[in-house]
């Protein structure tokens, strides 16, 4: 399997997106997020998305010239309009604003409206951890799960993420979708011609399936049954009712080239620990909990594997399947 440097993969991904119609800056920011996800072992949110985003640019599902801007602004809250463009520049603006406002007010909320797929949710919280703050991220997505008791897809897989900084150690990073697995894993399985485990998805008729293509055409199952479905409802309300963004059932699937502009939403909450118990107490409490968790040798801290894989990728490069690499090179021209 070919192995390429992180820098080279960034160049290929950015070139593919810019060639499809994104501005150079949008292409650069988006490529960095996708390559970082690939480096962390998150293939469903990594390089496999480049072709998808490029197709959306070419088919007008996103505006490649969009410029993110703040459209509502009050003290510790703001709303960023992604302008129907790719999500990453808008999310970067929202997180930057939330950090600055939390530093002044103790906590802040930044919403993003008229947006697109925002990749691995925890990626956006990296600057929050670097600022020594706690961050939460939420995003809705095109309908993939039914309301509890229903048989029609209404909610997206609606990822949530959190980051908690540590002194002298990588932050704790929690990142999950509210479906049994991220829908992107079905995309990868379909591309590779592999079955999916039972319990991940239903086909269009509502029957359990191990065929990833049937699952993509059907529905995902919520993680934890009714609890996952209720959490997905909460994310829809936080990301859409508060920002004016489209609900999951109003957005066409990301897995088709043609369709409407999704106009979905994201939300970020940033909290300064120094405004509450204080930084010293916060870090003492974090380390007490971590030490207790690690008394069990089988415990792995959330985010630890991603950090290890990213370091290895930076030093050794990233293995890319030949078919995917050929696709990237073709898209980049």
Domain that holds residue 7: 1-58+303-333
Q: Are residues 83 and 122 in the same domain?
A: yes
Give tens-digit pLDDT for 293-324. Answer: 999 999 999 999 999 999 999 999 999 999 99
- Pairing verdict, β 77-81 and 107-115: parallel
- The per-residue pLDDT string of the chain (333 residues; one tens digit each, 9 = 90 and over) reads 899 999 999 999 999 999 999 999 999 999 999 999 999 999 999 999 999 999 999 999 999 999 999 999 999 999 999 999 999 999 999 999 999 999 999 999 999 999 999 999 999 999 999 999 999 999 999 999 989 888 889 999 999 999 999 999 999 999 999 988 878 788 888 888 899 998 888 888 888 899 999 988 888 888 888 999 999 999 999 999 999 999 999 999 999 999 999 999 999 999 999 999 999 999 999 999 999 999 999 999 999 999 999 999 999 999 999 999 999 999 999
- What is the tens place of the pLDDT at every residue in 219-265? 888 888 899 999 999 999 999 999 999 999 999 999 999 999 999 99
**Residue 173 shares a structural domain with residue 316:** no
Same structural domain for residues 16 and 156? no
Asked, for residue 78, whether it belongs to a domain, the answer is yes
| Cα dist from 307 to 169, 174, 232, 312, 318, whole Å | 11, 13, 28, 9, 14
30, HSE (Cβ side, Cα atoms, 13 Å)? 32
193 assigned to some structural domain: no
Sign of the CA dihedral with 12 first, then 18, 22, and 28 last: positive
Across all residues in the chain, what is the average pLDDT? 95
Q: For residue 77, which of 110, 100, 103 has the smallest C-alpha distance?
A: 110
Q: Assess if residue 252 is contained within a domain.
A: yes
Q: Is the same domain home to 295 and 309?
A: no
Claim to verify: residue 287 and residue 145 sit in the same structural domain: yes
Do 86 and 54 belong to one domain?
no
User: How far, in Å, CA of 110 to CA of 91, rounded?
Assistant: 9
The answer to whether residues 34 and 140 belong to one domain is no
Are residues 251 and 108 part of one domain? yes
The verdict on residue 128 lying in a domain is yes
* CATH number where 170 lies: 3.30.1370.60
Q: Are 156 and 251 within one domain?
A: yes
Looking at the fold, whether 149 and 21 belong to one and the same domain comes out as no
Q: Please state the pTM of the whole predicted model.
A: 0.93
């Amino acid at each position: 399997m070919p192995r390429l440097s992180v820098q080279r993969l960034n160049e290929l991904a950015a070139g593919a997106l810019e060639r499809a119609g994104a501005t150079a800056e949008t292409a650069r920011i988006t490529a960095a997020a996708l390559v970082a996800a690939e480096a962390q072992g998150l293939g469903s949110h990594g390089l496999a998305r480049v072709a998808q985003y490029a197709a959306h640019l070419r088919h007008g599902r996103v505006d490649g010239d969009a410029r993110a801007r703040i459209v509502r602004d009050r003290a510790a809250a703001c709303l960023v309009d992604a302008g129907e463009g790719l999500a990453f520049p808008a999310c970067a603006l929202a997180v930057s604003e939330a950090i600055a406002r939390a530093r002044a007010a103790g906590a802040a909320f930044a919403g993003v409206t008229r947006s697109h797929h925002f990749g691995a949710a925890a990626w956006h919280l990296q600057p929050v951890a670097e600022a020594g703050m706690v961050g939460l991220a939420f995003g809705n997505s095109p309908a993939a799960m039914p309301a509890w008791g229903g048989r029609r897809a209404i909610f997206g897989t609606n990822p949530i993420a959190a980051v908690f900084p540590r002194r002298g150690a990588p932050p704790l990073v929690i990142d999950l979708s509210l479906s049994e697995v991220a829908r992107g894993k079905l995309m990868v399985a379909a591309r590779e011609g592999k079955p999916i485990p039972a319990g991940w998805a239903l086909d269009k008729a509502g029957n359990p399936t191990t065929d990833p293509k049937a699952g993509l055409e059907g529905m995902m199952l919520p993680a934890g049954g009714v609890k996952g479905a209720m959490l997905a409802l909460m994310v829809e309300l936080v990301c859409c009712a508060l920002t004016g963004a489209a609900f999951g059932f109003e957005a066409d699937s990301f897995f088709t080239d043609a369709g409407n502009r999704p106009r979905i939403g994201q939300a970020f909450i940033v909290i300064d620990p120094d405004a509450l118990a204080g930084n010293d107490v916060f870090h003492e409490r974090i380390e007490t909990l971590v030490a207790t968790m690690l008394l069990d040798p089988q415990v792995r801290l959330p985010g630890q594997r991603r950090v290890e894989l990213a370091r290895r990728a930076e030093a050794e490069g990233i293995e890319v399947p030949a078919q995917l690499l050929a696709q990237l090179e073709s898209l980049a021209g």
